[in-house]
Copies of this chain bind each other. A is one copy, B any other.
Amino acid sequence: MKQNIETFIGCDCEYEKAEIVLFGAPFDSTTSYRPGARFGSSAMRHESFGLETYSPYQDKDLTDCFVFDSGDLELCFGNTEDALSDIEQHADQIMEEGKMPLLLGGEHLVTLANVRAVYKRFPEMHIIHFDAHTDLREDYLGAKLSHACVIRRCHDMLGDGRIHQFCIRSGEREEFAFAKEHTDLHPFDFEGLEQVVQQLKENNTPVYFTIDLDCLDPSVFPGTGTPEAGGVTFMQLLHAIRLVSETKIVGADLNELAPMLDQSGVSTATACKVLRELLLSLKK
């Protein structure tokens, strides 16, 4: 008799054969408004059994992919640097064994830890960032390690011109001013993505791909801490993901699902489908 084992649907490859390793970072300790993203990764895993492994959009099936789901990390609430450090170590281990770390948040700050691990191996990498918010604050009420500062911290590492932001529709005036100088910010939707992808492909640039699910319109994704009207549709997001997957992706994450904020379950189901489509588009 076998013990109960719960993975994201179709992600039950043996570790040795796996090309991608999923792992969850159930952390939202710096979320200043409405918390709950800590429950995102486990909700996706738990509800994924209502999803098919097959995608009619891509005519591919998760059962043909090589994905291992290593479950959720147990992270410390109340000590941000410790939590980030645990995430980074886990990503390090995955990369050492030649696999790609695909992180499920949690709040967006967890991205920083995964980026740090990937950056060590790919210092020339670019970031493609889908989000409603710029996340470019220097600090938030004094904290530099905050969900509202995560892309700014990434910029501290990567420097100018290597962060490509899309769907952005919310931020302080100073953040948009910063972006004008230092990042490649595309407001509101995916305009300009094709050209960015084209260039990254030509240069074979390694790409870290971070998706804050609140880039989606709240109509289709209400279950997130800071919903912002005026987002993209699910079909636009799928199309954009397939575009980005033409580049050389070396690390990725999906974050900011707060399942308790949408009791209809639609947000979790949609997040599951976004993950399925992302995994399938990464399969060459």
- By a beta-carbon cutoff of 8 Å, the part of chain A in contact with chain B is 1-7, 15, 28-36, 38, 42, 45-46, 50, 52-54, 56-57, 61, 68-72, 74-80, 82, 93, 109, 140-143, 145-146, 168-173, 176, 187-188, 217-220, 222-223, 226-230, 234-235, 238, 261-266, 269-270, 273
Q: Which residues of B contact A140 (CB under 8 A)?
A: 76-78
Q: Given A15-B1, A171-B52 in contact, is the A223-B38 Cβ separation under 8 Å?
A: no
Q: Given A261-B264, A269-B228, A273-B229 in contact, is the A56-B3 Cβ separation under 8 Å?
A: no
- Smallest CB gap from A75: residue in B: B141
Q: Which residues of B contact A69 (CB under 8 A)?
A: 3-4
Question: Do the beta carbons of A227 and B266 come within 8 Å of each other?
Answer: yes
Q: Which residues of B contact A171 (CB under 8 A)?
A: 52, 54, 56
Question: Do the beta carbons of B70 and A4 come within 8 Å of each other?
Answer: yes
Q: Which residues of B contact A82 (CB under 8 A)?
A: 142-143
Q: Which residues of B contact A76 (CB under 8 A)?
A: 140-143
Q: Would you list 21 pairs from A and B whose C-beta atoms are within 8 A, ordered by A residue? A: A1-B93, A2-B70, A3-B5, A3-B7, A3-B69, A3-B70, A3-B71, A28-B35, A30-B78, A32-B77, A33-B50, A56-B171, A56-B176, A56-B188, A78-B143, A217-B220, A219-B219, A219-B266, A223-B264, A227-B269, A229-B273
Question: Do the beta carbons of B218 and A217 come within 8 Å of each other?
Answer: no
Question: Do the beta carbons of B38 and A35 come within 8 Å of each other?
Answer: yes
- Smallest CB gap from A74: residue in B: B141
Question: Do the beta carbons of B265 and A261 come within 8 Å of each other?
Answer: yes
Question: Do the beta carbons of B218 and A269 come within 8 Å of each other?
Answer: yes
Bound CA–CA A70/B52 (angstroms): 25
- Nearest CB of chain B from residue A4's CB, rounded to whole Å: 3
- Smallest CB gap from A72: residue in B: B4
- Nearest CB of chain B from residue A121's CB, rounded to whole Å: 19
Q: Which residues of B contact A74 (CB under 8 A)?
A: 141
Q: Given A170-B56, A269-B227 in contact, is the A4-B5 Cβ separation under 8 Å?
A: yes
- Smallest CB gap from A171: residue in B: B52
Question: Do the beta carbons of A54 and B234 come within 8 Å of each other?
Answer: no
- Smallest CB gap from A43: residue in B: B46
Bound CA–CA A35/B146 (angstroms): 17
Question: Do the beta carbons of B261 and A226 come within 8 Å of each other?
Answer: no
- Nearest CB of chain B from residue A260's CB, rounded to whole Å: 8
- Nearest CB of chain B from residue A97's CB, rounded to whole Å: 9
Question: Do the beta carbons of A264 and B265 come within 8 Å of each other?
Answer: no
Contact of A54 among B33, B36, B46, B172 (CB under 8 A): B172
Q: Given A56-B168, A265-B34 in contact, is the A77-B146 Cβ separation under 8 Å?
A: yes
